[in-house]
Structure 1
Amino acid sequence: MPAQAEDWRGWNVHPDGYPNSVALKDFADEVSEKTDGELNPKVYNNAVLGDQPDAIEQTRSGALDFGNFNMGPMGPIVPETDVLSLPFLFTSVDQMYRVMDGDIGQRFADALAKKDLIVLSWFGSGARSFYNTDHPIEKPDDLKGLKLRVMNNDLYVQMVDALGGNATPMSYGEVFQSLKTGVIDGAENNFPSFDSSNHYEVAKYFSETEHLIIPECLCVAASSWNALDEDTQKIVRTAAENAATEQRKLWAEGVEKSREDVEAAGVKVNEIDDKAAFQKRMEPIYQAFIESHPDMKSLIDDIRATQ
């Protein structure tokens, strides 16, 4: 236990009631209970402690004790995590969980540990798919000519370009109006975001390409972690693993509900059983990535071997 009762501050971007927020609260409650109040984590939701890149740096320095971070913005600090932003790297959310819970996930955790971030467990953030106002996407050529909003990341721009679409980086808040006015034809995201943003009101075709499946970590500052004795570390890690189990369950339930809701609102959802044609279009992106990061080829090969 800590020498005296200690409060931990934790970062979270999501609002109250979100699967991650519920799981993080239960993590904090379990740690407090099992340590008899000697260690009291408190989660600050809605990014009130800063944006994600800033919160990652604060956690590395020990100004924050823990956080729930997506691997997307982690690349500038931990280059290995850029691998996880490669499109069509994973074929399903379940495969991603299997990979991250095993030896490969430990390799990413080791890379984060070198930057003073201790991974306690892996959360999910769903699978991102394309949706648009015009027609279902069943094969790569169905994206030809579509103006599609993507996050501001070169890999995502390259992905859409390789599929024949016109990638249009823009802020998330501009997407609804841009869809409505025809500035863009579509975008990409997961079912809960598609639902909660009301994008389903104007984009009536949702195609489950599942091109990006990016994990998140529940990470602790190395300085905070190292200040704990072994028994307390075990309590904290077990609580984090329990939180991951809960978050994954709540997320899956949220995806199912959002899918049902948007279908009830008239959205046509189509599954894509064989993503091989999409993955083949990604080969130049992978080749360029490996040329720039030759030391990461084994990570990519090992993940692909689990498909």
Structure 2
Amino acid sequence: MKIYRNTLVGLLATAALATAAAAQECEVTLRSSDTHPDGYPTVEGVRAMAAEVKEKTEGRICIEVFPASQLGEEKDAIEQTQFGVIDMVRASFGTFNDIVPETQLFSLPYLFRNQDHMYKVMDGPIGDELAAGFAEKDLIALAYYDGGARSFYNSQKPIDSIDDLSGMKFRVMQNDVFVDMMSALGADATPMPYGEVYSSIQSGVIDGAENNYPSYDSSGHAEVAKYYTLDQHLMVPEVVAVSKLSWEKLSPEDQQIMREAARNSAVIQRQLWADQEKASEENVVADGAEIIKEIDKTPFIEAMAPVYEKYVTTPEAQDLVKRIQETQ
């Protein structure tokens, strides 16, 4: 036992020395927060950025990623990043709604035609304009990640057209936009906690819900709601942002390295997300789910006119939505 204890102490001491030596190699260590678990596409995306930054700065700048809310939930992590307590954060646009008002528009249903459309918008001039809004709040937006697309699934029948939604009851998040979206589509919205969805579909309290492929798969909802319609009514981007205080400590050359690495990491993250979606689709299909892909989205989009009229009220917001929709 004594020999084992001495060996263990020796191993721990060696590991501690190795960690200290690695830290000494980095002139700057940036701490990055993520709420998702280890191995999740956003976590691995920032790690890819970290690897490129470390290589291009010859080890001078290191980015240490803390997954699984180790540095706090998204709202807290954002606030800490604004104050420079944390150096970086990866978070959903939805969490920034009270900080950067323009991000509210990205929770509008059917704002993006598909994922390629979202990428073109976020990687173009509109993404640059949004970055300026983040900068006003002491956050430097470096890259936009893919947060997935939410679609409808139910236990009753395939949804091939907007008429199929009439009278059906769907669980949605407690959000006025979502409730109004369901009403515009002719369905009934039933806000409820996520943990109650499975039993509520199983018992017939609701007909279905809406979420992305991985959530549909991992939650087990595919077991009780076999029909998944790929309408992609909601795509909310995510952002990788650096504290302005941490950013201004970097040289212009290092800032450029960070920007390039972040943009490259977005490409990697999006592919990782696509791979995860594909794996989840294969899982649910193998378990008997029916995927409805070939639908005409036009009637769904046109039905959103009263929703947009209610929530897109200022000339600036109307112009931004118009430019997003016109991006090719």
TM-score, normalised via structure 1 length: 0.94
* Residue equivalent to 2:203: 181
State the one-letter code of the partner of 1:269: I
* Residue equivalent to 1:303: 324
Pairing partner for 1:131 from 153, 163, 175: 153
- Describe the superposition over 1:272-303 as per-residue Cα deviations: whole angstroms up to 9, x where unpaired: 44211001110001111222x33211100101
Kept in 2, the 8 Å contact 1:209–1:272? The answer is no
Number of equivalences: 303
State the one-letter code of the partner of 1:266: G
State the one-letter code of the partner of 1:48: Q
Unaligned runs of 5+ in 2: 1-25
Give the secondary-structure state (helix, strand or coil) at the position aligned to 1:47.
Answer: coil
Q: Does 1:100 align with 2:122?
A: yes
- Describe the superposition over 1:11-56 as per-residue Cα deviations: whole angstroms up to 9, x where unpaired: 1121112111212222223223332333221111111222212222
Q: Does 1:6 align with 2:25?
A: no
Kept in 1, the 8 Å contact 2:142–2:239? The answer is yes
Kept in 1, the 8 Å contact 2:161–2:295? The answer is no
Q: What is the CA–CA distance in structure 1 between the aligned matches of 2:211 and 2:256, rounded to whole Å?
A: 36
* Residue equivalent to 2:275: 253
Q: Does 1:144 align with 2:166?
A: yes
* Residue equivalent to 1:90: 112
Q: What is the CA–CA distance in structure 2 between the aligned matches of 1:72 and 1:61, rounded to whole Å?
A: 20
Pairing partner for 1:58 from 68, 76, 80: 80
After TM superposition, the structure 1 stretch with the greater mean CA deviation from structure 2, 254-263 or 176-185, is 176-185
After TM superposition, the structure 1 stretch with the greater mean CA deviation from structure 2, 174-183 or 278-287, is 174-183
Unaligned runs of 5+ in 1: none
Shift of 1:161: 1.6
Kept in 1, the 8 Å contact 2:231–2:295? The answer is no
Q: What is the CA–CA distance in structure 1 between the aligned matches of 2:43 and 2:198, rounded to whole Å?
A: 25
Change (3 A) 1:177 1:297: same
Pairing partner for 2:219 from 197, 200, 209: 197
After TM superposition, the structure 1 stretch with the greater mean CA deviation from structure 2, 41-50 or 97-106, is 41-50
* Residue equivalent to 1:71: 93
Q: What is the percent sequence identity of the aligned residues? A: 47
Q: What is the CA–CA distance in structure 2 between the aligned matches of 1:188 and 1:23, rounded to whole Å?
A: 26
After TM superposition, the structure 1 stretch with the greater mean CA deviation from structure 2, 270-279 or 93-102, is 270-279
Give the secondary-structure state (helix, strand or coil) at the position aligned to 2:312.
Answer: helix
State the one-letter code of the partner of 1:256: K
Q: Does 1:114 align with 2:136?
A: yes
Q: What is the CA–CA distance in structure 1 between the aligned matches of 2:267 and 2:145, rounded to whole Å?
A: 8
Q: What is the CA–CA distance in structure 2 between the aligned matches of 1:142 and 1:155, rounded to whole Å?
A: 21
- Describe the superposition over 1:122-171 as per-residue Cα deviations: whole angstroms up to 9, x where unpaired: 11112110001111112222222222111222111111121122212223
Shift of 1:95: 0.5
CA RMSD of superposed structures (Å)? 1.5
Q: What is the CA–CA distance in structure 2 between the aligned matches of 1:242 and 1:79, rounded to whole Å?
A: 27
Q: Does 1:237 align with 2:259?
A: yes
Kept in 1, the 8 Å contact 2:161–2:296? The answer is no
Rg larger in structure: 2
After the TM superposition, which segments of 4 or more aligned residues of structure 1 sit over 6 Å from their partners?
Answer: none
* Residue equivalent to 1:214: 236
Pairing partner for 2:64 from 27, 42, 55: 42
Kept in 2, the 8 Å contact 1:67–1:218? The answer is yes
